[in-house]
Amino acid sequence: ETVLTQSPGTLSLSPGERATLSCRANRNLNSMSLAWYQHSPGQAPRLLIYAASKRASGIPDRFSGSGSGTDFTLTISRLAPADFAVYYCQQYSTSPITFGQGTRLEIK
Amino acid sequence: QVQLVQSGAEVREPGASVKVSCKGLGYTFTGYYVHWVRQAPGQGPEWMGWIIPNSGGTTYAEKFQDRVTLTRDTSISTVYLELRRLTSDDTAIYYCAKDANRGTLDVWGQGTTVTVSS
């Protein structure tokens, strides 16, 4: 199965700062079949980015995705208080669908 | 408003089975795959499988192939996850999620906590 490794495990930043989250796959992902989700405590996961760089409906343009092949990045340009949560990458290029272990974005 | 509404928390003993429901609202239920994903405490999400509500066709992750069954009742826009031979390792939050496009999960249920304990 395709293994996704996210880094860092925890990222401590202040509101207004820029966050850069990484997701690395152990094999090339076809058609950039990678998504990013935000998961806040007590809530359902929320789709942010799909196809590596396309924002889902209603997602602010502060969130952007990039990358191809095996290396992908989620960037949040100016952190808002609601952005402090856990972020997961997910690949849907090969079966089974797999997720990374997550990056926890916490307030510094 | 498109949403998925799941059934309530369950507690089971080891060796038992559990069945969780997921009702689709606000969209054409038969038009989109529904996936099931679970998340155990302190772990990342784990994909379990999907069902095609229109045909009832299913695909399961190999890990769960012999213990899970996904079904649907189109008359009430509901899909079901049944997991058998439960162990403590199955303690997790179970989510259903609507497929937007080939595995992108754009709407998620609120989650159902399943606790396996003697």
For residues A70-96, average pLDDT: 95
Which band of pLDDT confidence, cut at 50, 70 and 90, is reported for residue B49?
very high
- Let me know how long chain B is: 118
HSE on the CB side for A74, CA within 13 Å?
31
Is residue A104 over pLDDT 90? yes
Q: Give the position of tokens 């395709």.
A: A2
For residues A26-49, average pLDDT: 92
For residues A63-81, average pLDDT: 95
pLDDT at A30: 79
For residue B4, give how far its alpha carbon lies from the nearest alpha carbon of chain A (Å): 10
CB contact under 8 A, B104 and A44: no
Q: Give the position of tokens 């290396």.
A: A71
Q: Residue B109: helix, strand or coil by DSSP? A: coil
CB contact under 8 A, A98 and B47: yes
Is residue B102 over pLDDT 90? no
Is residue B94 over pLDDT 80? yes
Give residue B96's region: left, alpha or beta (phi > 0; psi -120 to 50): beta
pLDDT at B112: 98
Taking contacts as CB-CB distances below 8 angstroms, the residues of chain B near A50 are 100-101, 104, 106
Q: What angle do CA B26, B32, B38 make, to 5 degrees?
A: 95
pLDDT at A53: 95
Q: What is the percent of chain A with per-residue pLDDT over 90, rounded to a whole number?
A: 94
User: In Å, how far are A13, B37, B106 from A16, measured between CA atoms?
Assistant: 9, 33, 27
Q: What is the percent of chain B with per-residue pLDDT over 70, rounded to a whole number?
A: 100
Is residue A35 over pLDDT 80? yes
Is residue B52 over pLDDT 80? yes
For residues A4-17, average pLDDT: 96
Residues 23-62 of A with CB under 8 A from B: 33, 35, 37, 44-47, 50-51, 56-57
Which band of pLDDT confidence, cut at 50, 70 and 90, is reported for residue B62?
very high
pLDDT at B46: 97
Which band of pLDDT confidence, cut at 50, 70 and 90, is reported for residue B76?
very high
Q: What is the percent of chain B with per-residue pLDDT over 90, rounded to a whole number?
A: 97
Is residue A32 over pLDDT 80? no
Is residue A31 over pLDDT 90? no
